Amino acid sequence: MTRRIHAAYLLAAGALVATPVAVRAQATPTTATKTATAAPATLPTATEEDIQMLRADIRAKRKQVMAANITLTADEATKFWPLFDEYTAEVKKVNDKRWAMMKDYAATYKQLTDSQAIRHVEVSAAVDAELIALRAKWLPQFQKLLPPKKVVQFYQVDRRLDLLMNIQISSLIPIVAAN
């Protein structure tokens, strides 16, 4: 149990540490940001290489964290891990779409038109729906291999890892100004 809590804590701490101070500071308006003439905070720019390294690091740790949070018998593990690898390869494709959308937004957010803003929201919702559909598609395959409670453990850990990854990557992308 300690191992599980430790792995989850490390990932959560990593998400918080990776959040730029400017983003965290947005939660507490200062006098300067309350005035109508105040300029928006400038966020540090993340390069393509920074994001790719972050995504690769998370993918590398995903299996390690999953292993720390789901106890498999030798027989279950022999069947589970190859299926998990196939599943995560498909998840990566969806997350590639998410990252492409975020890159496009980051390149245009300062001069974002209303139609681009709506398109961004639509694409974002479509990518979210695609990931949910992907989980639903793969769930029966995991159910064939594992007892129900272990399937739930897998689903919970997988979803939490995805949420942590999105928090880390999203923290690098500025929020649009609504002028």
pLDDT in tens, the chain (179 residues): 445 544 544 455 454 444 443 343 344 444 334 433 333 444 455 677 877 787 777 777 888 999 999 999 999 999 999 999 999 999 999 988 988 888 888 888 888 889 998 999 999 999 999 999 999 999 999 999 999 999 999 999 999 988 888 887 778 778 888 77
Would residue 114 count as lying in a domain? yes
pLDDT the model gives residue 32: 39
Would residue 159 count as lying in a domain? yes
CB environment 46-74: b (16+ within 10 A), e (fewer): beeeebeebbeebbebbeebbbbbbebee
pLDDT the model gives residue 46: 63
pLDDT the model gives residue 30: 41
Q: Against a cut of 0.95, is the pTM above it?
A: no
User: Residue 141's domain spans which residues?
Assistant: 2-170
The residue to which tokens 């990518």 are assigned:
127
Would residue 135 count as lying in a domain? yes
Would residue 57 count as lying in a domain? yes
Q: To the nearest 10°, report the CA torsion of 122, 126, 127, 132.
A: 140
Would residue 100 count as lying in a domain? yes
Q: To the nearest 10°, report the CA torsion of 118, 30, 36, 113.
A: -20
Would residue 43 count as lying in a domain? yes
Would residue 35 count as lying in a domain? yes
What is the count of structural domains for the chain?
1
pLDDT the model gives residue 112: 87
Would residue 176 count as lying in a domain? no
Please give, one letter per residue, the 3-state secondary structure of 100-133: HHHHHHHHHHHHCCHHHHHHHHHHHHHHHHHHHH
